[in-house]
Every structure is written in structure tokens, then in C-alpha cells.
Amino acid sequence: MVGNNGPVRVALIGFGLGGRVFHAPLISSVPGLSLVSIVTSDPTRQVEASESYPSAQVLDRPEAVWDSAAEHDLVVVSTPNSSHLPLGLAALEAGLAVVIDKPLAATAEDGRALAAAAAARGLLLSVFQNRRWDGDFITVWRLIDEGALGPVHRFESRYERWRPEPKPHTWRERGAPEEAGGLLFDLGSHIADQALQLFGRPTHVYAEVERRRPSVEVDDDVFIALTHRDGVHSHLWASVVAAIRGPRFRVLGLRGAFEKHGMDVQEDALVAGGRPGGPDWGSEPAEQWGRLSTGDDVREVETEPGAYQEYYAGVAEALRSGGPPPVDVQDSIAVLEVLEAARESARTGKVVELPDQAAAEPSK
């Protein structure tokens, strides 16, 4: 827990796309959090961090945070996946609460090591699964919870892009297993987490994990099929070679269906320099709303406002009250187990059966 006097003091490690576009703006927009340190060794990013957040000190190495642990309460790790384990462990050893960008680690075993270290020290450890606060996902959750679709039997989720030319010299394009690069661990972390939140831990996993673009080292086209305990089938796609995108969500129930195209608006707003706080934050224009059909009756459904800032508001509240974080680390370990099963299925061409574990029950 953090005392009630003054804000939660945050050190952000990493100022690449994740740190610059997502974490720093969201942390700065949440009352009760103060971004006091930004760690990056890149000179250009150091200048940008100083100009964008003049009240934060810019450090060139994570060890500077451990050396001044008494001046911080929370460390946010937004760095390449291979560094999540060592940086997370070092922050915990320094006595600091930790948020790690998804995926939690490069392997489920590493994720369990982080969870054990946090539990042993009584420190908060959470994972930035921001897509739980996508407006369209919140809308799907509400429709299912209200029974608008009846019993759901199929859930389809797509996270598709068109990037026929690989980005050179980025860690996400490196093929070494310890890098945990590629789409399966990147976008797959989002779509698997959403499916598990809605329908719980799957019993069986089938996957196709492909390298479509010439000369790439990592997967760039992924399909995952999950069979959940109650019989729901989740079909999940992630691709950067989709010139025409399918629906973001398509949910089929026995009394109706919901279909939604287009991505949540918050990422583009953050890239453009927007910040949460205004009355229209996260709101989609009407032309992007999804459709609910019960056969002859088809109507548009207004998309719930997205709210990425609620993740960090939940972190601040958990640190104040000692209550649970907004994303349980066990959920993210379950996601890693599913992704590892998907990789094994793709390698063998067979369906992988997951052991039964109650820790990954849906949290709604």
C-alpha cells in the first residue's frame, strides 16, 4: 500500500511506442499519479521526454530508479518482451510495485516467477491489458451480460492491419524465442485476454501461426481457435497482411448476433496527442457503431466510450487501498499458457488440451 499523503510516484521505463503513446499520457491524465521519472537511453527520446514531461526527471538506465527507490512507489515496464522478467524482478527487489506491458513475460514460467516474487514481498504486480477498456469490447461485454444475444456459442475477434513491408531493426521482428516477438505474443495477448475474460480458460487450443511476408523472422499471420468449458468457441485472428479487414467482433448467440467493424478510437487519439479527460474521450462516431440482429430486427448499437485511463485509475486505487489491481497477474499467466499452447498446436498441427485450472475463470 501507498500512504494517502501525496500522489503515487511513478517511474516509466521505456519511451518507445508503448511508453510514449500509451503509458506516459495515461499516467499523466489520472489524478493521484505523478510521473516523476522516465528511463530511456536513446538521446532523441530523452529530449522528447524532457520536452513532453518537463516535471519528470529523465534517466538513462533502470538502475538509477533502484538507487532512488525511496523516491518512487510504482515502476511501469514498457520495454522489449525479453526484458520484462529481469526488470520486473529488479523493481520488486527494490521494494516497488510493478506494472508490466503485455505480455507479462516471454514464457508462462517466467510469468509465474514474477508473480511469486511479488507475492513473497507483498507488492502489487499487474499487466497493462488496456484492450479490456476498448469501447467495442465493453459493448460486447454489456450485450452478453444483458442477455441480448441469448446463450453465446461463437465469439469472433480480429485485430488486422495492412503492413506488407516489415519494419526493419525492431525487436518485434526478431525471431529468437527469448525475444517473444511476432504477432502471436503481441496482438495475440490482447485477443486471447479478451476471450478469456468473457468465457474463461479454454479446454482446447488449435492454432495456425504463419510467416507470410518474404524473409521475415517472426509470425505475421495468426489464427487461434479456443474451445471453452461451456462449449463456446472463440475464433481469433491477428494479421498484418489483411488489405481488407474483417469485422473486429462478431458474436453469435441463440437469440441474436452482434457485428462491429473498425478499431477502438483511443489509440489514434493518443497518437495524435489527445489525452483522456474530455467529455468525448473514447466516443465513436455513429457510422462506426455495430449492429445487433435478432433476425428480422436489425438495429445499431451505440459503442460504449473507451477508457484506457481506467486501468491506471484502478492501479492507483489498489495501491491506496491494498485491494486487487485492475488486471490480475494470474489472468496474464493464463494468457501466456494459451499462447504457448497455440504455438505448440501450430508446430504439430494438432489440438492442444489445456489442464484445468480455476485461476483463469472469467472475472465478470
Is there a single domain that holds both residue 251 and residue 224? yes
Band (pLDDT 50/70/90 cuts) for residue 173 is: low
pLDDT at 83: 96
Give the CATH number of the domain where residue 205 resides: 3.30.360.10
The residue-averaged pLDDT of 194-221 equals 95
Give the CATH number of the domain where residue 13 resides: 3.40.50.720
Examine the fold and report which residue of 75, 96, 128 is the final residue of a domain before the chain moves on.
128
pLDDT at 217: 86
Q: pLDDT at residue 90 above 80?
A: yes
Is there a single domain that holds both residue 36 and residue 51? yes
Inside any domain, residue 110: yes
pLDDT at 272: 95
Answer yes or no: are the C-beta atoms of 188 and 144 closer than 8 Å.
no
C-alpha cell, 260: 462491429
pLDDT at 360: 43
Q: What is the pLDDT of residues 124-171, one digit of tens each?
A: 999 999 999 999 999 999 999 999 999 999 999 999 999 998 876 676
Q: Is 353 helix (H, G, I), strand (E, B) or coil?
A: strand
Answer yes or no: are the C-beta atoms of 302 and 135 closer than 8 Å.
no
**pTM as predicted:** 0.93
**Phi and psi for 86 in degrees, rounded to 5?**
-65, -40
Is there a single domain that holds both residue 180 and residue 216? yes
Number of domains comprising the chain: 2
Band (pLDDT 50/70/90 cuts) for residue 2 is: confident
Burial of 87 (0-12, 13-18, 19+ CB in 10 A): buried
Q: In one letter, which amino acid is 222?
A: V
Examine the fold and report which residue of 65, 99, 128 is the final residue of a domain before the chain moves on.
128
Element (H, E) at 194: helix 187-199
Is there a single domain that holds both residue 138 and residue 269? yes
Examine the fold and report which residue of 99, 128, 157 is the final residue of a domain before the chain moves on.
128
Domain limits for position 302: 131-307+338-360
Is there a single domain that holds both residue 123 and residue 141? no
> Which residues, other chains included, contact 336 with Cβ-Cβ below 8 Å and sequence gap of 6+?
103, 104, 105, 107, 108, 111
Inside any domain, residue 68: yes
Is there a single domain that holds both residue 195 and residue 216? yes
Inside any domain, residue 103: yes
Is there a single domain that holds both residue 154 and residue 108? no
